[in-house]
């Protein structure tokens, strides 16, 4: 199935149109166990920024090529960009900050892209993989999946979302701290009991089939409504109830004027599937 939107080529990602309105984005460094190199970080940041302008895609299925979802950070390549011959400590610190902020933006773009993102995790999901999954809307895994916050084992505290998003998903500070301090493995069934994943599938093939069915169900809904749901949930997570209510009514004072509502109601009464137009294209900033 051909793309309805023209994406650039990505060195570390493979894009595939699975069905109308559903795009698969696959981490594609299988030979390196989908480890996060500087190029992988850049590709994820660029793709999840670019997909904002793809008005046809409503759901993105995020998967990993090869034997695992990701083994985490590519230590060899990443240490190369973190080291510097500069003797000025402030300069070196600013360089690390600039790089870290860019990596944070890569995962924040997943959260803010406006599409529903379904993570499909098989076998290992280590370090930044768990942080990437935490930025997604829905997480599925295969029965052989396992997760680990390995950052403490290499002498650092995770700073691109694992210790910020993951605790709010799980809602159990004791287990979050246990996982973060020990770097122990979190296997599929425990991840399900904690609420980190919504379903454990028998194998990778079954997981991808389930993700596609979910994507088709989600993509059949009003894009105005699903965008609003994502906005509200993300905002509510980080604000008080009163602030979130104010945000919601301010958003809906215009979004409730959509023609998608009468379309949806009419289709329900007539017991048929509604057809909703795609959202209007966003204008790219001209620099």
pLDDT (tens, 9 = 90+) of the chain, 287 residues, equals 677 799 999 999 999 999 999 999 999 999 999 999 999 999 999 999 999 999 999 999 999 999 999 999 998 888 776 777 778 889 888 999 999 999 999 999 999 999 999 999 999 999 999 999 999 999 999 999 999 999 999 999 999 999 999 999 999 999 999 999 999 999 999 999 999 999 999 999 999 999 999 999 999 999 999 999 999 999 999 999 999 999 999 999 999 999 999 999 999 999 999 999 999 998 887 65
Residue 133 is predicted with a pLDDT of 98
Q: Where in the chain do CATH 1.10.12.10 domains reside?
A: 223-270
Q: Where in the chain do CATH 3.90.226.10 domains reside?
A: 13-219
Q: Quick one: the chain helix, strand, coil %, rounded to 5?
A: 50, 15, 35
Residue 283 is predicted with a pLDDT of 84
Residue 184 is predicted with a pLDDT of 98
Are 200 and 192 within 8 A, CB to CB?
yes
Domain 223-270 in CATH: superfamily?
Answer: Lyase 2-enoyl-coa Hydratase, Chain  A, domain 2 (1.10.12.10)
Q: How far apart are CA 202 and CA 210, in angstroms?
A: 11
Q: Which residue has the tokens 């996060």?
A: 36
Q: In what order do the strands lie in the sheet with 22-27?
A: 13-19, 22-27, 59-64, 116-121, 138-142, 199-201
Specify which residues 11 forms β-bridges with.
Answer: none
Are 69 and 129 within 8 A, CB to CB?
yes
Q: What does the block give as tokens for 228?
A: 């609003």
Residue 36 is predicted with a pLDDT of 97
Residue 81 is predicted with a pLDDT of 67
Architecture of domain 13-219: Alpha-Beta Complex (3.90)
Residue 215 is predicted with a pLDDT of 98
């Amino acid at each position: 199935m051909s793309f309805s939107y023209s994406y650039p080529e990505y060195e570390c990602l493979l894009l595939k149109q699975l069905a109308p309105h559903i795009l698969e984005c696959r981490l594609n460094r299988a030979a390196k166990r989908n480890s996060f190199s500087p190029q992988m970080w850049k590709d994820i940041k660029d793709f999840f920024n670019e997909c904002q302008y793809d008005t046809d895609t409503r759901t993105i299925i995020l998967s990993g090529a090869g034997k695992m979802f990701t083994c985490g950070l590519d230590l060899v390549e990443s240490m190369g960009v973190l080291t510097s011959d500069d003797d000025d400590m402030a300069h070196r610190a600013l360089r690390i900050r600039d790089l870290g902020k860019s990596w944070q933006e890569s995962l924040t773009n997943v959260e803010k892209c406006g599409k529903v993102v379904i993570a499909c995790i098989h076998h290992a999901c280590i370090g930044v993989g768990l942080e990437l999954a935490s930025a997604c809307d829905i997480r599925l895994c295969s029965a052989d999946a396992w997760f680990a916050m390995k950052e403490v084992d290499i002498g650092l505290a995770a700073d691109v979302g694992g210790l910020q998003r993951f605790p709010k998903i799980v809602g159990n500070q004791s287990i979050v701290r246990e996982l973060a301090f020990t770097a122990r493995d979190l296997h599929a069934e425990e991840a399900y009991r904690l609420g980190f994943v919504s379903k454990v599938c028998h194998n990778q093939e079954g997981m991808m089939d389930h993700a596609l069915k979910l994507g088709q169900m989600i993509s059949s809904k009003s894009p105005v409504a699903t965008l609003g749901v994502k906005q509200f949930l993300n905002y509510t997570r980080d604000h008080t109830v009163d602030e979130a209510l104010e945000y919601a009514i301010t958003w809906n004072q215009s979004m409730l004027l959509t023609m998608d509502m009468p379309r949806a109601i009419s289709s329900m009464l007539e017991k048929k599937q509604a057809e909703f137009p795609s959202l209007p294209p966003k204008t790219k900033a001209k620099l």
